[in-house]
Amino acid sequence: MKNKILIGITLFSMFFGAGNLIFPPFLGAEAGTSGWLAFVGLSFSAVCFPILGVVAVTLSGGADRMADRVHPMFSVVFISALYLAIGPCLAIPRTSGTSFSMAVQPFLPEGMSVGLVQFIYSIIFFTVAARIALHPERLTEYLGKRLTPILLTLIVIIFVVSLIHPTGSAAAPVGMYASAPVIYGFQYGYQTMDALAALTFGTVIALNIREQGITEEKAVIKETISAGWIAGGCLILVYAMLNYVGMLAGGAFTGMENGTDVLLLTVHALFGNTGTLVLALVFLIACFNTCVSLLSCCGKYFNELFPQISFPHWVFLFAGLSMLISNVGLNTILKISVPVLNAIYPPALLLIFLTCINRWIKRYPKIYPWSAFLCCASSITLMLEQQGILVPLLLPLLHQMPGYTGGFAWFVPTIAGILVGWIASYFNNSHTI
Query: Domains in the chain, ordered, with CATH?
Result: 2-341 (1.20.1740.10), 357-433 (no CATH)
Residues 3-33 pLDDT 10s: 778 778 778 877 777 678 888 999 999 999 9
CA–CA dist 349, 345 (Å, integer): 6
**The pLDDT value given to residue 141:** 57
Q: Higher-confidence residue: 405 or 379?
A: 379
Q: How far apart are the first and last CA of the chain?
A: 49
Query: What DSSP letter does each residue of 182-250 carry, written as one string?
Result: HHHHHHHGGGG-HHHHHHHHHHHHHHHHHHTT---HHHHHHHHHHHHHHHHHHHHHHHHHHHHHHHHHH
* Residue 242, number of CB atoms within 10 A of its CB: 28
CA–CA dist 95, 73 (Å, integer): 31
Residues 333-355 pLDDT 10s: 767 777 777 888 899 999 999 99
Sign of the Cα torsion 137, 140, 146, 151 reads positive
pTM > 0.75: yes
CA–CA dist 433, 429 (Å, integer): 6
Q: What is the mean pLDDT of the chain?
A: 85
Q: Under a CB-based contact definition with an 8 Å cutoff, are residues 294 and 92 in contact? A: yes
Instruction: Say whether 310 sits in a helix, a strand or coil.
Output: coil
Amino acid (one-letter) located at 80: S
Q: Under a CB-based contact definition with an 8 Å cutoff, are residues 323 and 123 in contact? A: yes
Residues 155-189 pLDDT 10s: 888 899 998 988 888 889 988 898 889 988 988 88
Phi then psi dihedrals of residue 376, to 5 deg: -65, -45
